[in-house]
Amino acid sequence: MIRNQWYVVLESSEVKDRPIGVTRMGEKMVFWREKSGRVRAAVDRCPYRGVALSAGKVVQDHLQCPFHGFEYDASGACTRVPAYGRHGVIPRALRLSTYPTYEAHGFIWIWWGNPVPQDLQPPEFFDNLDSSYEWASAQDLWNVHYSRVVENQLDVMHLPFVHRNTIGRGNRTVVDGPVVVWKGEQRFRIYVYNRVDDGRPARRAAELAPKPEGSQYLEFLFPNLWQNYITDKVSIVAAFVPVDEEHTLLYLRFYQRFNRLPVLG
Ligand code: FES
């Protein structure tokens, strides 16, 4: 997995004030929400005896281990060892590893890397998806490394074959393109023109006129966000969340702004 990146790892609704334990990036992690609403993340293993902190509690914003009651703050410092007494001296080496977090657009990101840059900038998202959209979400676990999911979701040539009765219908098997347009260092858009095989060979990107503004495209935002822009009112977004080397959890969202009634939306 590629280090030193912000990864979407959870939906906001999954993290409440109680600790939640999940496996991400092949590591057991614990997430919790402070009273202020801020989400925190740490390795889900007490540095004392290795107990899962996700089985513990949040006490005044600190994570409390369920075994001997040690408490850790958001920086990972141990702030309380009940057996030492209220004024006992806590060894500085007793530290929990934590992850920087960021929350926006109903997603939670962690910075997965080392060291954490001093000037760490927040992660990016899709600029077109503002508050005028409603969205609904679902999850799907795939038994594959997340890089293969990325590859699959950008592979438009398989659509007329594998999905010939649904999204690839019409027997438009010839693929002109793909056209790839970089939109900064972290993202690119990709689109193709599909057509029925009329004997003319497929054309390269350089032979094609750009698609008009507002046309369908796929957008990939490194390292694990994807958008299928369908119209200016409908998009599908996916976060390919690495669980471990062999599993990826897809967070799928359907965004729309043609219907603002929440229930129907
Ligand atoms: S194992 Fe965590 S406090 Fe004992």
**Residue whose entry in the numeric block shows the structure tokens 């925190």:** 40
User: What are the pLDDT digits (tens) for 86-112?
Assistant: 999 999 999 999 999 999 999 999 999
Note the pTM of the prediction, 2 decimals. Answer: 0.93
Decide: 260 in ligand 1 pocket, CB within 6 A.
Answer: no
pLDDT at position 77 over 60? yes
Decide: 46 in ligand 1 pocket, CB within 6 A.
Answer: yes
* Domain 5-112 class in CATH: mainly beta
Question: Domain 134-256, what architecture?
Answer: Alpha-Beta Complex (3.90)
Locate the domains of the chain by residue range.
5-112, 134-256
Residue 199 alpha carbon to ligand 1 centre in Å: 70
Residue 135 alpha carbon to ligand 1 centre in Å: 41
Q: What is the mean pLDDT of residues 122-149?
A: 96
User: What are the pLDDT digits (tens) for 15-24?
Assistant: 998 999 999 9
Phi, psi of 22 (to 5 degrees): -140, 160
Query: Are the folds of 5-112 and 134-256 the same?
Result: no
pLDDT at position 265 over 60? no
Mean of all residue pLDDT scores within the chain: 94
pLDDT at position 46 over 70? yes
Residue 21 alpha carbon to ligand 1 centre in Å: 16
Kindly report which listed range (89-93, 155-159, 239-243, 255-259) carries the lowest average pLDDT score: 155-159
